[in-house]
Structure 1
Amino acid sequence: MTLQPPIRKIYFGVAERRQMFRLFDRHAQRPNRWENDDSALFAGEWFEIARAEHDYMLDILPPLWLRGEMFAMREFLTDSVTSVFYTLRIDGKVRYFHAYCDLAQTRSPVEMRDAIVERESWPVKAMTHRERFEHVWSATHDEYRGYAGERFMPEHRGKRTILVHGLGSAELRLLDDLTDEEITAKLPEHLRHLPTRVAA
């Protein structure tokens, strides 16, 4: 049985068009790009977009399929993973989302929809520990993020890295090694003071 990657929110706020395209391939700098099955990097990622971006993507090509509140892109990103766009009513408001779903898993688009609705229906605005890391990675410019190479221990090579500024210096660090304080400092001001919620 193949373990499916977790469904995860990777960006807070509504991504405008430029940011949306950056988020489509936020793993562009990965080593050996396209040489391996990169499905697990993408499958399960989702973020919110505006209606204009949703409609723009619907008009680019005829969708692979259109089912009620969702449609799938005809072009696949990797193997069986493609973009699925959603129009969802959450707490009385219509909102729009993009997600990468593995269509080899028949229920993937439905499970993604349900996960988005559940996540966005939290009664208190909060971020999980992992969502803080994912937002920082998504919002950081390519010049300041990357993947561990030869200067890192062999067991860390290929893991995500990010540039951290200290007292008069900058250091490339593993993203997962950043402290809560360092991650908080990299969040935009309006997200820094959100409570941390334990993922369900």
Structure 2
Amino acid sequence: MTTDQPFRKTFPGVATGKKMFELLNPGADLPIEQRIDGTAYAGAWFEITQADYAFMLDILPPLFMRTGMFGMSEFKAGNVTSVFFGITIHGRRRWFHGFCDMSDRFAPDRMRAAIIAFEWHAFDSMTRAEKLEAIWILTPDDFKGTAEGGDAAASIPHQRDERAIIFDHGEHGTVTRPLDDLTDNEIADLLRPFTKGEQR
């Protein structure tokens, strides 16, 4: 499988410890076929700590290892495996994880270039789609869903196939909203704890 999915950042800030492992196992709400062939994962990346980078390097003999980059020998699904990067951006060393489709032998290099391009030009910015994906990943399972899976979206009859979340809307109390209908202000509020480097 060679995927044409774009590279996409899936977490704002640095994922540490437990959060990193949660992000290494995403997609439980996606179709089983996409999880089996790896399309649910390919192209996704996020920032990690140096300690977690070193920890993952020690788990198994790497599939490959180059300066500032190594791949896991245990594949996630299909041809997709975890690749870890150590990259210097604006004079500061940082560490990242990405899911690469290894049927494309240039995928790790293209992902590295995509990470550099994104982080070099946009320190704290993500596209709207990336922000929505991050909110979906960060929202606890009890506060998100679709009509098929119950929970949040079940109370929105006209949008029953769409992902929806339940969240505290301040003076309006708890509200249920389709993910794609969130306003820019709501997105900013939901991501604020993480963009400040806080962990839930």
TM-score by length of 1: 0.81
Which residue identity is paired with 1:175?
A: L
Q: Distance in 2 between matches of 1:115 and 1:149?
A: 35
**In the alignment, which residue of structure 2 is the partner of 1:14?**
14
**In the alignment, which residue of structure 2 is the partner of 1:137?**
136
Query: Which ranges in structure 2 are unaligned for 5 or more consecutive residues?
Result: none
With over 3 angstroms needed to count, the CA separation of the structure-2 counterparts of 1:8 and 1:148, relative to structure 1, is farther
Give deviations 1:12-63, integer Å, cap 9, x for gaps.
11111111011112322x1553686452221111000001000111111111
Please give the root-mean-square deviation of Cα atoms over the aligned residues, in Å. 2.8
**In the alignment, which residue of structure 1 is the partner of 2:59?**
60
**In the alignment, which residue of structure 1 is the partner of 2:164?**
161
With over 3 angstroms needed to count, the CA separation of the structure-2 counterparts of 1:174 and 1:119, relative to structure 1, is same
Q: Distance in 1 between matches of 2:3 and 2:54?
A: 33
Q: Distance in 2 between matches of 1:105 and 1:148?
A: 36
**In the alignment, which residue of structure 2 is the partner of 1:175?**
179
Which residue identity is paired with 1:188?
A: R
Quote how far apart the aligned CAs of 1:139 are: 2.1
Q: Distance in 2 between matches of 1:190 and 1:77?
A: 26
Q: How does 1:7-156 map to 2 (within 5 A)?
A: 7-28=7-28, 30=29, 32-33=31-32, 37-122=36-121, 125-149=124-148, 151=154
Q: Distance in 2 between matches of 1:34 and 1:75?
A: 19
Which residue identity is paired with 1:10?
A: T
Quote how far apart the aligned CAs of 1:165 are: 4.0
Q: Distance in 2 between matches of 1:114 and 1:189?
A: 28
Judging by fraction of residues, say which structure has more helix: 2
Identity %: 39
TM-score by length of 2: 0.81
Q: For residue 127 of structure 1, give the secondary structure of its aligned residue in structure 2.
A: coil
**In the alignment, which residue of structure 2 is the partner of 1:197?**
none
With over 3 angstroms needed to count, the CA separation of the structure-2 counterparts of 1:36 and 1:132, relative to structure 1, is closer
State the number of aligned residues.
189
Query: Which ranges in structure 1 are unaligned for 5 or more consecutive residues?
Result: 193-200
